[in-house]
Structure 1
Amino acid sequence: MLVDIDHLLASPIFDPNRCSFGFHLFHSYYAIGVYVILLFFKRPYNIIGLGLLLHMLTDFIDCLFMYNTCSSCLENAPAQRLLEAINKLLF
């Protein structure tokens, strides 16, 4: 998806121990707010918003898996407090 083009702005471009949720521009909390607003527009914008939100959900699930296997890898992650709170609820 084009939403992952923001990975090209990061240094390094790929880091296996980095949670993209909350780190990259199009994966930020502000961007997610825009994706929610897209749900209230007519087609095709609401479908695009839904797809982007599902992409954010899968990235967040990836971050949760990463947090469970290597919590020290995400010590400086922008979404660390959110990951800790959800991890406590789930496990």
Structure 2
Amino acid sequence: MKAFTEKEITEKLKNFPEWEFYDDAIHTEIEFGNFKDCFSAMSRIAFECEALNHHPDWSNTYNVLSISLSTHDAGGVTQKDFDLAQAIENIVEED
């Protein structure tokens, strides 16, 4: 899978206003009401990651989930990252 150019990424990010592009990855931070809600969302996201066979660099601190997506094999951001970002957005919107 080929990595997108910065221009292509910028165009695609118009559909993801909570995400930013830097350091060859797309990033977001999501704040939840508490740790339990954050961890619950992470668990649901983990199932999507397995289904897509694509895994984020992520961490959480109490109620904040930080996510970075890039396709390491391609050396940048690919469609796989935007597919996972969309799955994450769908999960977070359910909360």
TM-score, length-normalised on structure 1?
Answer: 0.32
Q: Which has the higher helix share?
A: 1
Normalising by structure 2, we get a TM-score of: 0.31
Q: Which has the higher strand share?
A: 2
- Name which one, 1 or 2, has greater alpha-carbon Rg: 1
